[in-house]
Structure 1
Amino acid sequence: MKLLAFAASTSSQSINRQLVDYAIRLLTDGLVEGVPAREVEVRTIDLNDFEMPIYSIDRQNADGIPQPAHDFYDTIGAADALLISFAEHNGSYTVAYKNVFDWASRINMRVYHDKPIVMLSTSPGGGGGGFVLRSAAHLAQYFGNDVLASLSIPRFDENFDTATGTLANPELDVQLRDALATFATVVAEESDS
């Protein structure tokens, strides 16, 4: 399984990136039931590598679609599955993610290429980025996405040990492993083909 993983944030201190990194480690160390480590090849991307002008139809008509949008779209297309952790800004996507997504949707509305995905979110507060996660999971059906699982991690500073890079809350850790275990269906399909 070729897994594309990223945080929908451009922050150099992104807690969502820390969560993605931990999830990747669980997968590549063989700590997720039904997903053998030898079956997982992970590529991570940084949204900072896809910086573009703010989308507008006038800009598209004048200059076309910027190359970073094509690169983002093609990178998703090359993966078998996606792992995204959404940062929440004022109850919604970060501007950086929304912009790259908007540009990519002008190439093809099925930005996610019908790839199976596990969606995560976290925040310092009790909501755990739940607003953006629910929105992303709901809207995914319109953009070519099969959401296998979604999980919100509240109170990041209380539930995540930044020194070890692991979830310190055992219940949330089990929930994360269960969410990642849904990738077993992707691995099984890859083995059958």
Structure 2
Amino acid sequence: MKTLDVVGLCASLRTGSVNRMALELAGARMPSSMHLDIIEWRDVAPFDADILAAGFPSTVQALRDRIRRCDGVVIATPEYNFSVPGMFKNTLDWLSRGEDQPFARKPVAILSASPGPLGGSRVQYELRKILLFVNAMVLIKPEVFIGGSTAKFDGAGACVDETTRGFVTAQMQAFEGWIQAVQRMR
């Protein structure tokens, strides 16, 4: 069986982001048949239709190509003002352009971490609406909301909470099956 190539996108640009820690935890908890490649998107410019008229910027085209080639995408996102972080939404806006946008029928899993008690639940529902519009195949369950996240990761970024590790492991196992199911539908 081939290794499933999974792209990871962290919607937070902050170096010490707890969502980056959660994304790395997802990679570590994936079944051995999966590999996570975390992709940076920091250099994506603000969306501008005038720029698009001349073609996709190289940073956007590289992201589009990488997402198109992968078997699935895992997104870890913080919640900013009950919604998706603005610069990440901007990146999704760039990626969604064109008939060949890369999220169409692409398996996607979402997780979020927050110091608050809801674990970023509101952002996931906002992100699911965006991904629904681009025809992504979002894993419905199990959902992963890591509330009280500052107590669940240590200073080195390791998850110190067994329950959280269990939730993320269950989601990654389900995501493996979801990717395979979506591939069979093609």
TM-score where L is the length of structure 1:
0.81
Q: Which residue in 1 is equivalent to 2:45? A: 53
Equivalent position SS for 1:161: coil
Structure 1 residues not aligned, in runs of 5+:
28-34
Partner residue in 1 for 2:15: 12
Alpha-carbon distance in structure 1 between the residues aligned to 2:59 and 2:169: 32
CA distance in 2, matches of 1:125, 1:190: 34
Find the aligned partners of 1:99 and 1:3 in 2 and give their Cα distance: 22
Q: Tell me the residue number matched to 2:145.
A: 152
1:40 to 26, 34, 45: 34
Measured in 1, the distance between the counterparts of 2:21 and 2:121 equals 17
Distance 1:57 1:177, change over 3 A: same
Distance in 2 of aligned mates of 1:132 and 1:101: 14
The answer (yes or no) to whether the contact 2:29–2:168 under 8 Å persists in 1 is no
Pairing 1:93–2:84 present: yes
Distance 1:175 1:74, change over 3 A: same
Higher share in helix: 1
Cα RMSD of the aligned pairs, angstroms, is: 2.5
- Give the Å deviation of 1:22: 1.2
**1:91-170 aligned within 5 A:** 91-108=82-99, 110-148=101-139, 149=141, 150-163=143-156, 165-168=158-161, 170=162
Instruction: Confirm or deny that 1:175 pairs with 2:167.
Output: yes
Q: Structure 1 vs Structure 2: percent identity of aligned residues?
A: 22
Structure 2 vs 1, CA of residues 189 and 125 (structure 1 numbering), >3 Å: closer, same or farther? closer
| Separation of aligned partners in 1, 2:151 and 2:22 | 13
Distance 2:48 2:164 in 1: 40
SS of 1:82's partner is: strand
Alpha-carbon distance change, 187 to 146 in structure 1, aligned in 2, over 3 angstroms: closer
Stretches of structure 2 that go unaligned for 5 or more consecutive residues are none
Is residue 81 from structure 1 mapped to residue 78 from structure 2 by the alignment? no
Deviation (angstroms), 1:189: 5.6
Deviating more after overlay: 92-101 vs 106-115: 106-115
Measured in 2, the distance between the counterparts of 1:178 and 1:23 equals 10
Assess if the C-alpha contact under 8 Å between 2:96 and 2:103 holds in 1. Answer: no
Could you say if the C-alpha distance between residues 140 and 96 of structure 1 is closer, same or farther in structure 2, counting changes exceeding 3 Å? same
Q: 2:79–2:123: 8 Å Cα contact kept in structure 1? A: yes
CA offsets per residue over residues 115-171 of structure 1, 9 Å max, x none? 212100111111211111111123322212111243111111122334460141x33
State the match for 1:31 in structure 2.
Answer: none
Q: Give, in whole Å, the separation in 1 of the partners of 2:9 and 2:78.
A: 11
Counterpart for residue 32 of structure 1: none
